[in-house]
């Protein structure tokens, strides 16, 4: 398959090699990696939406990234396909302007499912590093498997990049248990330390088996859509319609035959949060943490950074999390 050549931004001079990370921010914390690579923050900012806006929105995009870094977020998750590389470029520009070039940032990006042949993997990473303005990334993920491309060649290329110091750790995204088992057999000198999957209180059928496998093999689950596109932050609970764009990217969550029941359960979760004196998002985020997952949250405005970090700072009791789990599953007993 011939890789498409993305429009490339003017190259910026990469900074010197990233020095050792500063001590972790207590409000977020980190998880040690099984391969001895840089500790992984427990909470991160996902830049999927931030790479899909018009040029007029770039100021807000920069403000979100800047606010997140200012308040202690260090994990930034992007990908070459987000905005055709624009997300990486904006992230690189903001971090470059941070104090000392943000040496303590944990930068993760992904190679597209369209670029999994060995030569494409290397070319994609070089392009990503140029856009990010960095000599290396802390974590490089396969965005999704491509059944037409053997994983053996992809993983061999990733191991070589890790040996060269361009990649701190290797991860995957949207991998099933079968995919993970296959991938683990193809690695020789490295290991997969992360699998990023869709995971929240209402989306768990596919993630739970993956979670169990990852727990048994020391692989960290990164949970995207942890707040179910805002539903677990209280959005859509007062009669506001769900935009078509959101419906298209959430699979069955907002489909007409399921939505009324989901909204009923979400309102019950909101009442539980109110009675417990915690934000609804606190329940959603710390339920994931208890599953051994690290939530990566999409935030499109600086005030959302503030509210999500405030939610993270409050941990509900185990009893509240147990009740939330039962409500989300539809068990009212």
Q: Six-digit token pair at 33?
A: 């990696």
Q: Are 313 and 25 in contact (CB under 8 A)?
A: no
Whether 82 is catalytic is yes
**Helices and strands in the chain: count of H runs, count of E runs:** 11, 10
> Measuring CA to CA, how many Å separate 176 from each of 129, 149, 210, 219?
28, 16, 6, 13
Provide the CA 39 distance to its chain's centre, in angstroms: 15
Q: Are 287 and 293 in contact (CB under 8 A)?
A: no
CA distance 232 to 218: 28
Q: Are 182 and 152 in contact (CB under 8 A)?
A: no
Catalytic: which of 69, 82, 106, 213? 82
Q: Are 187 and 34 in contact (CB under 8 A)?
A: no
Residues in the chain: 333
Catalytic residues: 82
């Amino acid at each position: 398959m011939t890789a498409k050549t993305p429009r490339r931004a003017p190259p910026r001079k990469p900074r010197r090699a990233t020095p050792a990370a500063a001590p972790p921010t207590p409000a977020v914390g980190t998880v040690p990696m099984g391969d001895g690579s840089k500790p992984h923050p427990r909470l991160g900012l996902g830049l999927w939406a931030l790479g899909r806006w018009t040029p007029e929105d770039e100021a807000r995009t920069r403000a979100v990234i800047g606010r997140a870094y200012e308040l202690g977020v260090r994990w930034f998750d992007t990908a070459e396909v987000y905005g055709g590389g624009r997300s990486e470029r904006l992230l690189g520009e903001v971090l470059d302007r941070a104090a000392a070039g943000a040496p303590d940032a944990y930068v993760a990006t992904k190679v597209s499912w369209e670029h999994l042949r060995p030569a494409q993997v290397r070319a994609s990473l070089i392009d990503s590093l140029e856009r990010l303005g960095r000599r290396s990334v802390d974590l490089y993920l396969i965005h999704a498997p491509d059944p037409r491309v053997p994983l053996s060649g992809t993983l061999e290329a990733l191991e070589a990049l890790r040996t060269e110091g361009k990649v701190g750790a290797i991860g995957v995204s949207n991998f099933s248990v079968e995919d993970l088992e296959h991938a683990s057999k193809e690695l020789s000198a490295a290991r997969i330390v992360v699998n990023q999957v869709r995971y929240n209180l209402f989306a768990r059928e596919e993630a739970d088996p993956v979670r169990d496998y990852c727990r048994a093999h020391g692989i960290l689950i990164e949970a995207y859509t942890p707040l179910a596109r805002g539903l677990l932050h209280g959005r859509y609970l007062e009669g506001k319609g769900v935009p078509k764009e959101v419906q298209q990217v959430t699979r069955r969550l907002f489909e007409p035959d399921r939505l009324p029941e989901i909204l009923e359960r979400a309102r019950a979760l909101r009442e539980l949060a109110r009675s417990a004196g915690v934000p609804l998002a606190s329940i959603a985020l710390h339920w994931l943490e208890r599953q051994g997952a690290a939530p990566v949250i999409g935030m499109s405005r600086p005030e959302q950074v503030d509210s999500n970090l405030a939610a993270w700072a409050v941990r509900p009791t185990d009893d509240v999390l147990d009740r939330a789990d039962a409500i989300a599953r539809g068990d009212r007993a």
